C-alpha cells in the first residue's frame, strides 16, 4: 500500500517553480505577483491566506494580502478588484471564501478578470476546462493538484472507473470533468455520487479510483471501497479531541485506518491533497505571468 505524500510532491513542485521564477526573472526582469483579498477575520481563512503569502515568498514571487473589514460593501470590494484587474504587476487575484453574507460570491467571481482568476472559478475558465482547452484556462487548484498526484505516482487512469463523491463547484464538478478528458493523467470512465445518490456504496465499490470531497468526516468506510482501489481524500473536518491542546483534530472524508488496509494507494489527512492546493495556486500564478509576458515554457 502506497501512502501518497502530498507534502513531498507539493514541496517538489514549489522547488520547480522557484527555479522557473528565478529563470524568468533573468529573462524579463520581473516576477509573478499574487494578491489575496481576505474580508473579515475568520480564523481558518486567516491561516490559509497567511500560508498562501508565505509560499509565494518562498519561491520568489511577489505577494500582497489585502485585509478588509467584514462591513465592507460589495461595491467597495468590486472597486478594489477592478483596480487589481488593471494592475500589470498583479498576475493572480484570489478573494478568499467564504465571504460575509451581504456579499454575493458570484458577483465577486464574475468581477475578477478571467486572465487573473488563478482560482479557476470564473465561468470562462470553467467553460474552457469543460471543452478541454486546458492551455486557455486556469484549473481549479484542488482538482489540478489531484491530477498532479495521480501523474507523479504513475497511477494508471486510462479506462479506469473513477468515482467522484461530491459535486461542489470547487472540487467535485471540475474533478469529474477533468477525469473524463482525454489526457495522460485522466481518460477515465466517470461516475459522480452526491447527497441524493441511492445505494452509494454499490457505486463506490466499483471505483478503481475513488475521489472523495463531500465534507463529512470518516464518511467512506472500508466496506465502500474495492480492494486495491486508489483513494483520494479531499476532506478536512475538525472533530473534537480532548487529548489535543487545540481541542480538535483533523480527519478526512475517508475512515483512513481501515480503508488504507483495503486500498492500493491513499492520501492521508493532513499531508495528502491539502498541501497540493497551494502549490497549484502558485503554478497558476506563474502560468498567468507567462501568458501576460508572452513567455514560452523553458
Ligand atoms: N476558501 C477555501 N478554499 C478556497 C480556495 O481554494 N479559494 C478561495 N478563493 N477561497 C477558498
pLDDT of residue 298: 62
Which pLDDT belongs to residue 51?
95
Q: Whose CA is nearest to atom 9 of ligand 1?
A: 96
3-class DSSP state of 196: coil
Check if the beta carbon of residue 248 is closer than 8 Å to that of residue 270. no
Any ligand 1 atom below 6 A from CB of 94: yes
Provide CB contacts within 8 A for 5, sequence distance 6+: 271, 272
**Closest listed residue to residue 188, CA positions, set 211, 167, 209, 218:** 209
Which residue is it, cell 467535485? 172
When the candidates are 3.40.50.40, 3.40.50.10490, 3.40.50.720, 3.30.70.260, the CATH number that belongs to 141-274 is 3.40.50.720
Is there an atom of ligand 1 within 6 Å of 140 CB?
no
3-state secondary structure 188-230: CEEEEECCCCCCHHHHHCCCCEEEECCCCCCCECHHHCCCCCE
Query: Active site includes 96?
Result: yes
Above pLDDT 90, what percent of the chain?
A: 96
Nearest to 221 by CA among 267, 252, 180, 259: 259
Tell me if 29-113 shares its fold with 141-274. Answer: yes
The whole-model pTM stands at: 0.97
pLDDT value at residue 288: 98
Q: Which residues, including other chains, have CB under 8 Å from residue 101's CB and lie 6 or more apart?
A: none
Q: Judge residue 263's burial from the number of C-beta atoms within 10 Å of its C-beta, 0-12 exposed, 13-18 middle, 19 or more buried.
A: buried
Q: Which three cell numbers stand for residue 59?
A: 519561491
Ligand 1 near 230 CB (within 6 A): no
State if residue 255 touches ligand 1 by the CB under 6 angstroms criterion: no
Q: Which helix (H) or strand (E) holds 161?
A: strand 161-165
Judge whether 52 counts as a catalytic residue: yes
Contacts of 94 (CB under 8 A, 6+ apart): 34, 35, 36, 37, 52, 118, 119, 281
Task: Label the pairing between strands 265-266 and 189-193.
Answer: unpaired
> Atom 3 of ligand 1 has which residue's CA nearest to it?
97
Phi, psi of 273 (to 5 degrees): -70, -35
Contact 273, 6 (CB under 8 A): yes
Position 33 scores a pLDDT of: 98
Is 29-113 assigned to CATH 3.10.150.10? no
Q: Whose alpha carbon is nearest atom 1 of ligand 1?
A: 97
- Of the candidates 124, 220, 248, 95, which has an alpha carbon nearest to the alpha carbon of residue 163? 220
pLDDT at position 297 is 78
Q: Which regions of the chain are under pLDDT 50? A: none
Closest by Cα among 60, 88, 115, 26 to 298: 26
**Residue of 63, 70, 123 whose CA lies nearest to 93:** 63
Q: Report DSSP state, residue 220.
A: B
String of DSSP letters for 81-99: HHHHHH-TT--EEEEPSPP
Terminal-residue alpha carbon distance, the chain: 36
Contacts of 103 (CB under 8 A, 6+ apart): 39, 72, 74, 77
| Domain ranges within the chain, ordered by starting residue | 29-113, 141-274
293: nearest Cα among 20, 54, 82, 59: 20
- Confidence (pLDDT) at 177: 98
Amino acid at each position: 500500500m502506497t501512502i501518497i505524500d502530498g507534502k513531498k510532491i507539493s514541496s517538489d513542485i514549489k522547488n520547480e517553480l522557484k527555479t522557473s521564477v528565478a529563470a524568468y526573472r533573468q529573462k524579463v526582469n520581473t516576477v509573478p505577483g499574487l494578491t489575496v483579498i481576505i474580508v473579515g477575520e475568520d480564523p481558518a481563512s486567516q491561516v490559509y491566506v497567511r500560508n498562501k503569502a508565505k509560499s509565494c515568498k518562498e519561491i520568489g514571487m511577489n505577494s500582497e494580502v489585502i485585509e478588509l473589514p467584514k462591513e465592507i460593501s460589495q461595491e467597495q470590494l468590486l472597486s478594489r478588484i477592478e483596480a487589481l484587474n488593471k494592475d500589470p504587476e498583479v498576475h493572480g487575484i484570489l478573494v478568499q471564501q467564504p465571504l460575509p453574507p451581504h456579499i454575493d460570491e458570484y458577483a465577486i467571481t464574475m468581477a475578477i478578470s478571467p486572465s487573473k482568476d488563478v482560482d479557476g472559478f470564473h465561468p470562462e475558465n470553467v467553460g474552457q476546462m469543460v471543452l478541454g482547452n486546458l492551455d486557455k484556462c486556469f484549473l481549479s487548484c484542488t482538482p489540478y493538484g489531484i491530477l498532479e498526484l495521480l501523474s507523479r505516482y504513475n497511477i494508471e487512469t486510462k479506462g479506469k472507473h473513477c468515482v467522484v463523491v461530491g459535486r461542489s463547484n470547487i472540487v467535485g464538478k471540475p474533478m469529474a470533468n477533468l477525469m473524463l478528458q482525454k489526457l495522460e493523467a485522466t481518460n477515465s470512465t466517470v461516475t459522480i455520487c452526491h447527497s441524493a445518490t441511492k445505494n452509494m456504496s454499490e457505486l463506490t465499490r466499483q471505483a478503481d479510483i475513488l475521489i472523495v470531497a463531500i465534507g463529512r468526516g470518516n464518511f467512506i468506510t472500508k466496506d465502500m471501497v474495492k480492494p486495491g482501489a486508489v483513494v483520494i481524500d479531499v476532506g478536512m473536518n475538525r472533530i473534537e479531541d480532548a487529548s489535543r491542546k487545540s481541542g480538535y483534530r483533523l480527519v478526512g472524508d475517508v475512515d483512513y485506518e481501515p480503508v488504507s488496509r483495503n486500498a492500493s494507494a491513499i492520501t492521508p489527512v493532513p499531508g495528502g491533497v491539502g498541501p497540493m492546493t497551494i502549490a497549484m495556486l502558485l503554478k497558476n500564478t506563474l502560468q498567468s505571468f507567462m501568458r501576460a509576458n508572452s513567455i514560452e515554457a523553458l
